[in-house]
């Protein structure tokens, strides 16, 4: 009995132990599961911190690199500033030496000027004694003045002779034409008389001989007149060449003189750029307008130099042929439509001047010009202007040219 009860107690204790073990296992599993969840949470947190660590490390490396670059650039700038400072010090030192040298030179110049002033005073005293040499210089100036006046008188005389020869040639041409007409009339009369003389009329034959003799005299007179005309023509061409050469020399002389007189040398066929600049300024700002205007002027200067471009047509003016601008020309029409009338008139004026003064070359030529009247100046006007400038120079030198 006792064994049986003892076995039952053991069984109870065993069942209790099993139940307690099961309960302990459940509790342990629950605790383990909780710990695992905490462990997983810690792992996730650790991963986040690791990511933050990597991000911070990358930022630190980037900042470190930037700091190194800044330090390097700073070092370079410091070195450049140091070298620049050294160069500035050297420049200042050089300028200081130059200033000292110039100061010494200035002192030397002052001493030299004082010496030259003394020498000049001595020369003035010597020149006061040598007034005769000054009188000789005045005589030479008077001779030069007389030469200029003589040139003016020669040009005036040549012009008058040219005018008289033209009148004489016109009269001789009229006489020649009248003489030729008279000879033709004599020939007609002679033919009629020859037919009449065939009938044996002696009086008619005498008249025929008379007409033949008169006709031979007229023909000889005509030959003499033609020979005289030829001689005068050769002389005329020579005189014209001399006048052309004189005009060229006058132009070359006036080129060297800066004057505001209304008779001046003008470069014919030169494009006036002012309308181009004004037109461009209405479309663009100052800088761009200047550049575009310069480019357009250069382009049209090349057009003007092109000998193959001849935008002119011939019209009758008072019975004479005259070349005028062909306004329908493609280039000119395009310029007027794009830039306006003022720019077109500038290009057209240059074209007309080139066509009138140098139609084959395409380049501008220098011409004596009367700016008050807008025309070519005569040779006489040019000489008067030259004499006027000569007198101004003489007055400035204390000698007035007697007109």
Q: What is the pLDDT of residues 342-383, one digit of tens each?
A: 999 999 988 888 888 765 555 567 888 888 887 888 877 887
Residues 225 and 277 in one domain: no
The more confident residue out of 198 and 26 is 26
Residues 103 and 194 in one domain: no
132: in domain: no
380: in domain: yes
Domain boundary among 218, 250, 282: 250
Mean pLDDT lowest among 81-85, 223-227, 265-269, 358-362 = 358-362
pLDDT bracket for residue 134 (50, 70, 90)? very low
pLDDT bracket for residue 151 (50, 70, 90)? low
Residues 365 and 291 in one domain: yes
Residues 270 and 381 in one domain: yes
What value does the mean pLDDT take over residues 225-252? 72
C-alpha torsion 207→208→210→212, nearest 10: 170
Query: Per-residue pLDDT for 37 more than 80?
Result: yes
402: in domain: no
Residues 156 and 197 in one domain: yes
Domain boundary among 221, 250, 279: 250
Mean pLDDT lowest among 39-48, 229-238, 295-304 = 229-238
Distance spanning both ends of the chain, measured CA to CA: 182
131: in domain: no
* % the chain with pLDDT above 90: 11
Range of the domain at 298: 264-396
Q: What is the DSSP string of 56-97?
A: HHHHHHHHHHHHHHHHHHHHHHHHHHHHHHHHHHHHHHHHHH
Question: 341-352: buried (b, 16+ CB within 10 Å) or exposed (e) per residue?
Answer: eebbebbbebbb
pLDDT for residue 91: 79
Domain boundary among 188, 216, 250: 250
Query: Per-residue pLDDT for 226 more than 80?
Result: no
Query: Per-residue pLDDT for 135 more than 60?
Result: no
pLDDT for residue 177: 65
Residues 308 and 386 in one domain: yes
Residues 212 and 276 in one domain: no
pLDDT for residue 140: 47
3-state secondary structure at position 185: helix
Residues 164 and 236 in one domain: yes
Residues 65 and 7 in one domain: yes
Phi then psi for 175, rounded to 5 degrees? Answer: -65, -40
pLDDT for residue 255: 72
What value does the mean pLDDT take over residues 249-270? 76
Residues 286 and 225 in one domain: no
Tokens representing 298 are 């250069």
User: d(Cα 197, Cα 191) in Å, to the nearest integer?
Assistant: 10
User: Looking at the 3D structure of the chain, how many domains does it have?
Assistant: 3
91: in domain: yes
Mean pLDDT lowest among 75-79, 177-181, 291-295 = 177-181
pLDDT for residue 401: 39
Most confident of 232-236, 280-284, 365-369: 280-284
pLDDT for residue 294: 93
pLDDT for residue 363: 58
Residues 305 and 358 in one domain: yes
Task: Please state, rounded to an integer, the average pLDDT across all residues of the chain.
Answer: 75
Residues 293 and 181 in one domain: no
What value does the mean pLDDT take over residues 163-179? 64
User: d(Cα 75, Cα 23) in Å, to the nearest integer?
Assistant: 76
122: in domain: no
Query: Per-residue pLDDT for 245 more than 90?
Result: no
pLDDT for residue 97: 81
Q: Record the pTM.
A: 0.41
pLDDT bracket for residue 390 (50, 70, 90)? confident
User: d(Cα 222, Cα 256) in Å, to the nearest integer?
Assistant: 51
pLDDT for residue 215: 66
């Amino acid at each position: 009995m006792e064994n049986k009860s003892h076995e039952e107690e053991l069984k109870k204790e065993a069942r209790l132990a099993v139940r307690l073990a099961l309960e302990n296992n459940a509790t342990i599993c629950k605790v383990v599961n909780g710990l695992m969840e905490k462990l997983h949470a810690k792992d996730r947190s650790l991963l986040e911190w690791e990511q933050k660590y990597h991000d911070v490390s990358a930022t630190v490396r980037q900042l470190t690199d930037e700091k190194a670059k800044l330090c390097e650039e700073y070092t370079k700038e410091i070195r450049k500033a140091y070298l620049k400072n050294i160069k500035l010090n050297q420049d200042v030192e050089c300028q200081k030496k130059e200033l000292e040298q110039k100061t010494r030179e200035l002192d030397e110049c002052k001493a030299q000027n004082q010496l030259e002033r003394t020498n000049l005073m001595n020369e003035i005293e010597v020149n006061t004694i040598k007034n005769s040499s000054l009188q000789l210089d005045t005589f030479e100036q008077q001779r030069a003045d007389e030469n200029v006046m003589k040139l003016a008188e020669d040009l005036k005389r040549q012009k008058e002779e040219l005018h008289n020869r033209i009148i004489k040639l016109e009269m001789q041409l009229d006489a020649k034409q009248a003489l030729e007409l008279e000879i033709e009339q004599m020939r007609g009369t002679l033919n009629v008389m020859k037919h009449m003389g065939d009938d044996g009329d002696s009086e008619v034959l005498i008249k025929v001989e008379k007409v033949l003799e008169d006709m031979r005299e007229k023909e000889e007179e005509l030959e003499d007149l033609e020979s005289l005309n030829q001689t005068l023509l050769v002389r005329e061409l020579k005189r014209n060449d001399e006048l052309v050469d004189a005009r060229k020399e006058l132009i070359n002389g006036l080129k060297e003189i800066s004057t505001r007189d209304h008779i001046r040398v003008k470069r014919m066929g030169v494009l006036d750029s002012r309308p181009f600049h004004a037109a461009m300024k209405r479309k663009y700002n100052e800088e761009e307008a200047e550049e575009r205007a310069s480019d357009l002027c250069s382009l049209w200067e090349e057009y003007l130099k092109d000998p193959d471009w001849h935008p002119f047509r011939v019209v009758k003016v008072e019975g004479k042929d005259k070349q005028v601008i062909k306004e329908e020309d493609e280039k000119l029409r395009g310029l007027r439509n794009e830039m306006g009338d003022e720019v077109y008139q500038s290009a057209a004026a240059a074209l007309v001047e080139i066509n009138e003064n140098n139609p084959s070359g395409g380049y501008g030529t220098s011409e004596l010009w009367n700016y008050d009247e807008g025309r070519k100046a005569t040779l006489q006007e040019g000489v008067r202007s030259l004499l006027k400038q000569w007198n101004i120079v003489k007055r400035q030198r204390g000698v007035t040219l007697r007109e």
